[in-house]
Amino acid sequence: MRMVDQPLCLDDFEALARAKIRQDYWDYIAGGAGAERALAANRAAFARIALRPRVLVDVSACTAATTLLGHELASPVVVAPTAYHRMSHPEGELATARGAADAGALYIPSIFSNYPLEDVAAAGGAAPRWQQLYWLHDREAFGAVVDRATAAGYSALVLTVDAPVIGLRLRDARNALTLDADTLPANLFAAQDLLTTRSEGSSAVATQSLQAFDASITWDDLAWLRDRSPLPLVLKGIATAEDARLAVEHGVAAIVVSNHGGRQLDNPIGTLDILPEVVEAVAGRCPVLFDGGVRTGHDVAVALALGADAVLVGRPALWGLAVGGAAGVTQVLRLLQTELERVMALIGRPTVESIDASAVRRA
C-alpha cells in the first residue's frame, strides 16, 4: 500500500484510517455482505457514467451550496448514519457531530451510536441533524427513542428499511466479532449484553440484530410512527421504483436510494444504476437522496446529474474521524465540497441546480 503523509483525496484518508483502526473493527467498517458483489458494484457503477463538459460558461463563482428540507447546507454531501463511531475514535459521534457542523453539513447519527442521542445533538450545536432509526421488536423501547429524538431537536426521523435482518457479514463471522465495553450502543440499554455475546458461527452484531429488529413491520406500520412523532419521515434503503412510489403515497418527506453500502443484499448492481428508475418514479414529489460508493466530488456531480438532490457518505466520514477526530471529519467533507466545485467549473455548471441530466452520458 502507498504511504500517505498528507491526505489529498479520500483514498488517502482510507489508507491512513486503516492503520489506526484495529483489524476486526476495520473489517466491520470496510466489509460488505456475502461475496461483497454489491460493495464492488457500487464503485463500478460510477465508472460507466461520464460527465459532459460545457465550455464558455461563467464559472468564476461556482457554489456547491444547496437546501434540503429547509436546511441550508454548504454542499449536497450528508454524513450517513453509521453505527459505533468509537470503533474509529474515542470521541465517537460527538466528534462526528462537531466535524459535520464545522463543515456546514447535515449529520444523521445511527440509533446504534456510542453516545446518547441528546449528547450528539448538543455536540452539533445549531447544525441540522436527523435521527436514524431501526424499528425495534421492543415497541416501548423504540417509542422511547423516537420521543427522545423529537425532544432533542432532531428535525427528521430516518427509518432504515433495508435491514429487517442484518446481511451475511462473512468478515465479522470469521473474526467472531464482539464489541468491547466502550463500543456498546448508548441509546439501547437492552442491546448491550447481546453485543458482547454471539451465536456459534456468527458475529455479535448479527446475533443481536436478529433479536432486536422487528422483521414483521410493513407499510401500514408507518402510521404508528407518524402518530408518535410530528417529525418528517425519511425512508432509507429504497431500491426499486415500486417502493419509491409507495413511499411517496405514504407521505414521506424524502427517500434515500441505498443498498446500505453493500452490507445487506449482496446484489450485483450498484445503487447508481438504480437511481434513475427511482427518480423517475418519484417524479419530483419529494427529495431523492443517494448513497453507496461516493468517494470524489466527481461522483457527487454524477449522482446529482442522475437526479439525486443530495448524497450520503458512510465510510469516508469514519476514515476522517479515525485520522483526525472532528477536524478529520470536517476535512473529508470540505475535500468533497472543493472537489465538487472544481468539477462544476470544469463541466460548466456553476450551481447544484444546473447539474441536470444533460451533464451525463453512459461511458
Ligand X SMILES: Cc1cc2nc3c(=O)[nH]c(=O)nc-3n(C[C@H](O)[C@H](O)[C@H](O)COP(=O)(O)O)c2cc1C
Catalytically active residues are 260
Region 39-98 residues binding ligand LXCWX6NK, contact defined as CB under 6 A: 83
Minimum distance of ligand X from residue 77's CB (angstroms) = 10
Smallest distance from the beta carbon of 84 to ligand LXCWX6NK, in angstroms?
A: 8
* Radius of gyration, alpha carbons of the chain: 19
Query: Would the annotation count 201 as a binding residue?
Result: no
Residue 132 known to bind ligand:
yes
> What's the number of CA atoms in the CB half-sphere (13 Å) around residue 170?
9
Angle between helices 315-347 and 297-305 (to 10 degrees): 70
Residue 92 is a binding residue for ligand X (CB under 6 A): no
Binding-site member from 75, 203, 208, 330 for ligand LXCWX6NK (CB under 6 A): 208
Q: Does 315 bind ligand X (CB under 6 A)?
A: yes
Instruction: State the CB neighbour count (10 A cutoff) for residue 265.
Output: 18
- Specify the stretch interacting with ligand LXCWX6NK by CB under 6 A; choose among 92-100, 115-123, 207-215, 315-323: 207-215
Look at residue 95 and give the partner it binds from ligand LXCWX6NK, ligand X, none, a contact being a CB closer than 5 to 8 Å depending on partner kind. none
Does 156 bind ligand X (CB under 6 A)? Our answer is no
For the beta carbon of residue 2, count every other beta carbon within 10 angstroms.
6
| Binding-site string for ligand X from residue 187 to residue 226, where x marks contact by CB under 6 A and - marks none | ----------------------------------------
> Which amino acid type is present at position 293?
G
Closer residue to ligand X, CB minimum distance, 261 or 320: 261
Residue tagged 460508493 (cell numbers): 293
Q: Per CB under 6 A, does 112 bind ligand LXCWX6NK?
A: yes
Given a contact cutoff of 8 angstroms between Cβ atoms, the answer to whether 31 and 263 are in contact is: yes
Give whole-number Cα distances, 113 to 72, 91, 109, 131, 286, in Å: 25, 11, 7, 10, 28
Segment contacting ligand LXCWX6NK by CB under 6 A, of 54-62, 206-214, 246-254, 339-347: 206-214
Query: In the stretch 241-280, what mask flags binding to ligand X with x, by CB under 6 A?
Result: -----------------x-xx-x-----------------
Residue 116-155 contact track with ligand X, rule CB under 6 A, x = bound: ----------------x-----------------------
Residues counted in the chain: 363
DSSP 311-350: EEESHHHHHHHHHHHHHHHHHHHHHHHHHHHHHHHHHT--
Q: 157 - beta bridge partners?
A: 131, 233
Report the nearest approach of ligand X to the CB of residue 58 (Å). Answer: 33
| Residue 208, binding choice from ligand LXCWX6NK, ligand X, none, Cβ under 5 to 8 Å by partner class | ligand LXCWX6NK
Cα angle 260, 262, 266; round to 5: 120
Distance of alpha carbon 209 from alpha carbon 11, whole angstroms: 31
Q: How many residues of this chain bind ligand X (CB under 6 A)?
A: 24
CA distance 76 to 176: 37
Residues in a beta bridge with 360: 51
Is 110 a known ligand-binding residue? yes
Contact pattern from residue 31 through residue 50 relative to ligand X, giving x for each residue in contact according to CB under 6 A and a dash for the rest: -----------x--------
